[in-house]
């Protein structure tokens, strides 16, 4: 029975799938009156994904690069704030947040291993069409490479992000 | 918080990985005092996996085929009994067992969908080297094709089958 203290890593990002996965986890995995620790991890894509060169081969100006950095920082803050909001009703559960930079596939597995989490939760196809083309499927990668159990949560079609089925 | 009645499908087979996955699920997912229903599903490989022809092209005798059928039936019973034994301490949780015949990859997804389960649990690499060569990775297939959340439990190296880490 689920009574032990567990450390659960939830990968969060700006997608609806990620929001659904976190909500589902809160309703189905996090145990009432437990001393679980929930680690909300957002991984910022590395700077090189956007590339320092535009399509015509010219270097982006410092101004544009600074704007892009600001945007990335804002996205990270928004994602983490939204995830924390979803967790606001948890009582005994400790919520930690982390923002890392890198390829989400590797960073999620690395952080999970380093923090010795008992389980990780990832939304299926949580990185959108364009990013997935760059990054591949995060959930597949984690399922194959993580050393701990991986829960892959798929958002059913036509379901509001905040309303998991159960 | 995990307080709702949930239907959780656990794919079981004769492997240590499967036993570990079920034990892990019992300790980490099944909620104390819940009204969860646990469905233990064993999928017998289809007859054609063994083939009616031996290596030299001769048909197996009726006697051999009958022996193989008996063996398959015995394995199914042993797997289900062992899985039920692991669940014997559950109090409010209802335990159902099912034995189906077919390709485990498809059958697990089909049964999950037909029974409208809230979650399925599969051991990683739970089908052994030889069967995996025939059947491919069951956990990968379920993660990609199941419509409900899939928990993939990987047995850590050098861990006894009945002793999940947490």
Give φ, ψ of A157 to 5 degrees: -65, 150
A99 belongs to a structural domain: yes
Residue of chain A minimizing CA distance to B6: A166
**Alpha-carbon gap, residue B165 to B113, rounded angstroms:** 30
Question: Which pLDDT value is given to residue B166?
Answer: 47
A37 touches chain B (CB under 8 A): no
Residues of A in contact with B31 (CB under 8 A): 1-2, 31-32
Question: Which pLDDT value is given to residue B126?
Answer: 46
Q: Which of B32, B118, B166 sits opposite A165 (nearest CB)?
A: B118
More confident residue, B124 or A95: A95
The count of domains in chain A is 1
**Domain range enclosing B108:** 7-153
A125 touches chain B (CB under 8 A): no
More confident residue, A60 or B154: B154
A12 belongs to a structural domain: yes
Over its C-alpha atoms, chain B yields an Rg (Å, rounded) of: 17
Given a cut of 50, whether residue A126 has pLDDT beyond it is no
Residue in A99, A124, A128, A107 with CA at minimum distance from that of residue A40: A99
Distance from CA of A53 to the nearest CA of B (A): 35
Question: Which pLDDT value is given to residue A166?
Answer: 47
A143 belongs to a structural domain: yes
A162 belongs to a structural domain: no
Residue of chain A minimizing CA distance to B2: A28
Report the CATH number at residue B19: 3.40.50.620
% pLDDT > 90, chain B: 42
Given a cut of 90, whether residue A85 has pLDDT beyond it is yes
A75 belongs to a structural domain: yes
Question: Which pLDDT value is given to residue B48?
Answer: 57
Q: Which of B27, B143, B154 sits opposite A139 (nearest CB)?
A: B143
Beta bridge partners of A99: A42
Which residues in B79-124 belong to E strands, given as ranges? 94-101, 119-123
More confident residue, A117 or B34: A117
Of A97-106, A119-128, B1-10, give the range with the top mean pLDDT. A97-106
Residue in A35, A32, A30 with CA at minimum distance from that of residue A10: A30
Given a cut of 90, whether residue B137 has pLDDT beyond it is no
Q: In this predicted complex, what is the ipTM?
A: 0.78
Contact between A145 and A103 (Cβ < 8 Å) = no
B28 touches chain A (CB under 8 A): yes
- End-to-end, the C-alpha distance of chain B in Å comes to 20
- Report pLDDT digits (tens) over B58-115: 666 778 778 888 888 899 999 999 999 999 988 888 999 999 999 898 999 999 999 9
**Alpha-carbon gap, residue A149 to A129, rounded angstroms:** 26
Residues of B in contact with A118 (CB under 8 A): 28, 165-166
A145 touches chain B (CB under 8 A): no
Beta strands A94-101 and A119-123, pairing class: unpaired
Type and span of the H or E element at A91: none
Q: Across chain A, what does the average pLDDT equal? A: 82
Beta strands A7-12 and B150-153, pairing class: unpaired
Of A60-64, B33-37, B121-125, give the range with the top mean pLDDT. B121-125
Given a cut of 80, whether residue A30 has pLDDT beyond it is yes
Give φ, ψ of B153 to 5 degrees: -105, 120
A1 touches chain B (CB under 8 A): yes
A161 belongs to a structural domain: no
Residues of B in contact with A139 (CB under 8 A): 143
Centroid of chain to Cα A54? 28
B164 belongs to a structural domain: no
Given a cut of 80, whether residue B146 has pLDDT beyond it is yes
**Alpha-carbon gap, residue B153 to B162, rounded angstroms:** 13
B166 belongs to a structural domain: no
**Alpha-carbon gap, residue B94 to B10, rounded angstroms:** 13
């Amino acid at each position: 029975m689920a009574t032990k203290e567990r450390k659960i890593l939830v990968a969060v990002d700006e997608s609806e799938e990620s929001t659904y996965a976190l909500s589902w986890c809160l309703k189905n995995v996090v145990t009432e009156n437990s001393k679980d620790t929930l680690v909300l991890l957002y991984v910022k894509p590395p700077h090189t994904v956007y590339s320092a060169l535009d399509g015509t081969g010219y270097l982006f100006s410092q101004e544009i690069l600074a704007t892009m950095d600001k945007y990335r920082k804002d996205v990270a803050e928004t994602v983490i704030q939204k995830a924390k909001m979803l967790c606001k009703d948890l009582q005994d559960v400790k919520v930690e947040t982390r923002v890392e930079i890198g390829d989400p596939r590797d960073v999620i597995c690395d952080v999970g291993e380093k923090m010795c989490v008992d389980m990780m939760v990832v939304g299926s196809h949580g990185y959108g069409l364009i990013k997935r083309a760059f990054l591949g499927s995060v959930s597949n990668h984690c399922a194959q490479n993580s050393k701990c159990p991986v829960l892959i949560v798929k958002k059913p079609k036509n379901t509001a992000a905040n309303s998991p089925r159960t």
